[in-house]
């Protein structure tokens, strides 16, 4: 199995564990490829030599890897998933961040984790993604999302109006700071922070979560994953922002329509023994822990 290694080169904390892992893989004759930016970063820091960097560096890691290791946090894993694209190569998040709902391995245990992978002692979860189509503008954002698609106000205290349809049927006009359409994977991201429900990964649903709605009865609504959601921003006096998995662009166009539906492909996340989703939720959200104030 060839390992592809992607990561957040802006995190200083990745370099030492990354160097340790690549040396370990090399000593054990396990094939691997580093994204070119990581290979150069290791070389510039004197952690590997130029020959090592040249031999193992690649600009297209995802196309040649059987399994991808993503060094960073959840944001890095989202970007890694975009690089993998529709190929559906499994990806394992290696946590170098803080919270990490998507990452499953810690940098301190990578040798043991690779041993599990080599023994085939792991699983793969196929996570639903949203396809995003836009009519009337061409924002420079990804065309599909593992976590969420967001429409948000831009640099103003004023709310925006967002018309929402579900399968061609009018749902509501949201007067709010914005609106989130989240997958089950994205339910523990932005949607959760503004009061959306937590949805287990296998749930075949989407959730629409308004951001600071003017009407307090405008609550999150859960929809079947088969639904087609169409959103239009009808506010005309100031720009707004759209974001796909955190990659954003500002728009100032009238009549722009965004259509969201389940994509044909999935993102495949590696799971490890004794690290189930509910354990992750309990640990990351500190459920069941008593607190003394």
Residues 92-149 have pLDDT tens digits of 999 886 767 898 898 889 999 999 999 999 999 999 999 999 998 889 999 999 999 9
% pLDDT > 70, the chain: 97
Q: Cβ distance 179 to 218 under 8 Å?
A: no
Q: Cβ distance 148 to 186 under 8 Å?
A: yes
Task: Clarify whether residues 205 and 249 are in a common domain.
Answer: yes
Q: What is the dihedral of CA 134, 137, 138, 144, to 10 degrees?
A: -20
Please, where are the H alpha helices in the chain? 15-27, 36-44, 50-56, 61-64, 74-84, 110-118, 190-193, 277-285
Task: Clarify whether residues 30 and 71 are in a common domain.
Answer: yes
Terminal CA-CA length for the chain = 50
Report in angstroms the alpha-carbon separations of 177 from 61, 151, 291. 39, 9, 33
- Helices and strands: H and E segment counts in the chain: 8, 18
How, if at all, do strands 67-72 and 123-135 pair?
unpaired
Please, where are the H alpha helices in 32-175? 36-44, 50-56, 61-64, 74-84, 110-118
Count CA within 13 A, CB hemisphere, residue 19.
Answer: 14
Task: Clarify whether residues 12 and 95 are in a common domain.
Answer: yes
Residue 290 located in a structural domain: no
* Tally of domains within the chain: 2
Task: Clarify whether residues 259 and 134 are in a common domain.
Answer: yes
The pLDDT of residue 202 is 92
| DSSP letter (8 states) at residue 13 | G
Domain residues for the domain of 201 are 129-264
Q: Is the pLDDT of residue 274 over 90?
A: no
Q: Which two tokens stand for residue 270?
A: 């590696």
* Active centre residues (catalytic): 74
Residue 292 located in a structural domain: no
Task: Clarify whether residues 102 and 177 are in a common domain.
Answer: no
Task: Clarify whether residues 174 and 230 are in a common domain.
Answer: yes
How, if at all, do strands 3-7 and 67-72 pair?
parallel
Q: Cβ distance 202 to 212 under 8 Å?
A: no
Task: Clarify whether residues 118 and 150 are in a common domain.
Answer: no
Q: What is the CATH number of the domain that holds 78?
A: 3.40.50.10330
For 78-99, what is the mean pLDDT?
90
- Bridge-partner residues for 150, per DSSP? 180, 243
Task: Clarify whether residues 182 and 249 are in a common domain.
Answer: yes
Task: Clarify whether residues 247 and 143 are in a common domain.
Answer: yes
| DSSP letter (8 states) at residue 226 | T
For 23-50, what is the mean pLDDT?
94
Residue 63 located in a structural domain: yes
Task: Clarify whether residues 180 and 151 are in a common domain.
Answer: yes
pLDDT band at 289 (very low <50, low <70, confident <90, very high): confident
How, if at all, do strands 257-271 and 205-211 pair?
unpaired
Residue 134 located in a structural domain: yes
pLDDT band at 292 (very low <50, low <70, confident <90, very high): low
CA distance 82 to 247: 11
Sequence-separated (6 or more) residues with CB below 8 Å from residue 94: 7, 17, 69, 70, 71, 72, 103, 105, 106, 107, 110
Q: Cβ distance 35 to 61 under 8 Å?
A: yes
């Amino acid at each position: 199995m060839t390992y592809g290694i992607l990561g957040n080169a802006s995190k200083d904390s990745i370099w030492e564990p990354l160097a340790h892992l690549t040396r370990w893989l090399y000593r054990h004759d396990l094939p691997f490829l580093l994204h070119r930016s990581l290979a150069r970063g290791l070389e510039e820091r004197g952690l590997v030599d130029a020959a090592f960097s040249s031999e193992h560096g690649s600009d297209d890691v995802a196309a040649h890897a059987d399994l991808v290791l993503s060094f960073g946090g959840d944001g890095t894993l989202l970007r890694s998933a975009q690089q993998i694209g529709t190929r559906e190569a499994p990806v394992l998040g290696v946590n170098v961040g803080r919270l990490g709902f998507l990452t499953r391995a810690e940098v301190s245990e990578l040798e043991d984790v690779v041993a599990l992978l080599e023994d085939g002692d792991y699983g793969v979860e196929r996570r639903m993604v949203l396809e995003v189509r836009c009519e009337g503008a061409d924002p420079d954002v990804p065309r599909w999302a593992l976590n969420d698609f967001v429409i948000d106000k831009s640099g103003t205290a004023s709310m925006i109006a967002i018309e929402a349809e579900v399968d061609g049927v009018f749902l509501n006009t949201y007067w709010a700071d914005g609106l989130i359409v989240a997958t089950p994977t994205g339910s523990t991201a932005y949607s959760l922070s503004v009061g959306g429900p937590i949805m287990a990964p296998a749930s075949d649903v989407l959730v629409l979560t308004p951001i600071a709605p003017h009407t307090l009865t405008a609550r999150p609504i859960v929809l079947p994953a088969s639904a087609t959601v169409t959103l239009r921003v009808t506010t005309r006096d100031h720009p707004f922002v759209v974001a796909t998995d955190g990659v954003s662009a500002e728009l100032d166009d009238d009549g722009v329509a965004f259509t969201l539906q389940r994509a044909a492909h999935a993102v495949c996340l590696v799971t490890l023994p004794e690290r189930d989703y509910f354990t992750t939720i309990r640990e990351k959200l500190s459920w069941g822990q008593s607190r003394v104030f």
